[in-house]
Amino acid sequence: MIPGKDELERIFLEMCKYDTTNPPGNEESLALFIKETLGSYGVNCTIQRVGDGRVNLLAKIDRNGGLPYLLFAGHMDVVPAASGWTGDPFKPVVENGRVYARGSADMKAGLSSMMAAFIDLSCDERFGGNLAFLATCDEEVGCSGVKRFLEENTLEITGALIGEPTSMRLASGEKGAVWSELNFKGKSAHGSQPQEGINAVLLLIDAYQRIAGELGGIEGLTVSLNKVSGGSKENTVPDSASCVLDIRFMSNISPPEVTGVIDKVLSRFEGAGQKVLLTRNPFSSSGRLSDCVRSTLVEIGREPEPLTMTYFTDGAFIAPSGIETVILGPGAASMAHKANEYVELEEIHIAREIYGKIVRNFFQGCV
């Protein structure tokens, strides 16, 4: 017996109660809940340990040894709930058809919808394809979960569908990223005699404006100044300062080219340096899965034209491994990481239906 609409909503709300804030993550408790839930419908799961309290969960439907797998993929961790919440972010509130909770859109709605579609297919004796369901840890920080899965994976996977929030629009790729820490050295002096010093914070501002100017003409590229620190005392000219830039870009520029522009600008500032914290290559997928998703969306009267997501996902590692990767999920991308994050409750039911149709359509004619 498959879960009804009320049961899916119960599962989703229960998942939102688990505090899987990363760091530290602690996804194991949620993974065990998912395992128990799937087990109640006769689905066996494997727990893959990644670290202390950090695990992945994998479930499979094996119906045809001659076919590859499709993969449902999603992450269990969430970002910290910063200020601005009107209630406890881990006590979900249902109001006017919306569920307010940290991780509701990013991405426990997608995860619960994929679970429900997976159960539907596992209970359907007519379904003759192979489907895997993967819930990962640590997507919001280091992606150690998906990295471990790919290192140890023995399944032949032809395509992956990631349930991150896209308002149920198809995304066939995502932007690349560079997170870069910039450090500046100045000269301290008394605040009443700033001309005697070199203000490192002003150097930082000057360099940031130059970097933004150099990169700003590149189509699709964005530069966000997300962390700034400098100064030690109210009456002292700061002799050091640092910042972190979050740069997102399309395939018209590479991470080394981005960091090269930054190095070129910093060469004009004595003692300045760059520490690259993270690089991700952009990806764009096409193939049988992308075509199947588009045709399924057309079939049910939804917009089929693909997007490129500005955020990055586990797909940044899945796609380079040779697996066609698309992103499609309930919830608006604009809700991710915000206070009072919410998702329209009806979207989890729509997503469940669409996921099931995509998988059935993909394997139609193969079995």
pLDDT higher than 60, residue 279: yes
Asked if 307 and 165 sit in the same domain, the reply is yes
Band (pLDDT 50/70/90 cuts) for residue 154 is very high
Final residue before a domain boundary, out of 280, 296, 322? 280
Whether pLDDT at 66 is above 90? yes
Number of C-alpha atoms within 13 angstroms, CB side, residue 88?
7
The per-residue pLDDT for 1 is 81
CATH code assigned at 151: 3.40.630.10
Please tell me whether residues 144 and 207 are part of one structural domain. Answer: no
Last residue of a domain, one of 236, 254, 280: 280
Radius of gyration of the chain (CA): 23
Q: Do 127 and 144 share a domain, yes or no?
A: yes
Instruction: Give the number of other Cβ atoms within 10 Å of residue 296's Cβ.
Output: 22
User: Which residue among 254, 280, 306 closes a domain?
Assistant: 280
Asked if pLDDT for residue 221 goes beyond 80, the answer is: yes
The per-residue pLDDT for range 288-297, each reduced to its tens digit, is: 999 999 999 9
First to last CA, the chain: 24
Instruction: Please indicate, yes or no, whether residues 156 and 253 belong to a single structural domain of this protein.
Output: no
pLDDT digits over 6-61, tens only?
999 999 999 999 999 999 999 999 999 999 999 999 999 999 999 999 999 999 99
Per-residue pLDDT for 367 more than 60? no
182: CATH: 3.30.70.360
pLDDT in tens, 315-335: 999 999 999 999 999 999 999
One domain, residues 147 and 188: no
pLDDT above 90 (res 365): no
Give mean pLDDT, residues 181-204: 98
Residue 129 has pLDDT above 90, yes or no: yes
Given pLDDT bands bounded at 50, 70 and 90, which one contains residue 136?
very high
Question: Using one digit for the tens of pLDDT, what is the confidence trace for 81-102?
Answer: 989 999 999 999 999 999 999 9
What single string gives the DSSP state of each residue in 60-114?
EE---TTS-EEEEEEE--B----TT-SS-TTS-EEETTEEESTTIIIIIHHHHHH
Domain that holds residue 59: 5-174+282-363
Q: Is 110 in the same domain as 69? A: yes
Whether 213 and 317 share a structural domain: no
Binned at pLDDT 50, 70 and 90, residue 366 comes out as low
Number of independent structural domains in the chain: 2
Residues 241, 293, single domain; the answer is no
Q: Do 11 and 153 share a domain, yes or no?
A: yes
- Could you tell me if 50 and 161 lie in one domain? yes
Q: What are phi and psi of 204, to 5 degrees?
A: -60, -45
Statement to judge: residues 170 and 207 lie in one domain: no
Threshold 0.85, pTM exceeds:
yes
Helix boundaries (H) for the chain: 5-17, 28-39, 109-122, 144-152, 200-215, 255-266, 288-299, 315-318, 345-363
Does 198 share its domain with 57? Answer: no
Token reading at 224: 């966000």
Residues of 250-268 as b/e, b for ≥16 C-beta within 10 angstroms?
A: beebebeebbebbeebbee
Confidence of residue 259 (pLDDT cuts 50, 70, 90): very high
Q: What does pLDDT average to over the chain?
A: 96
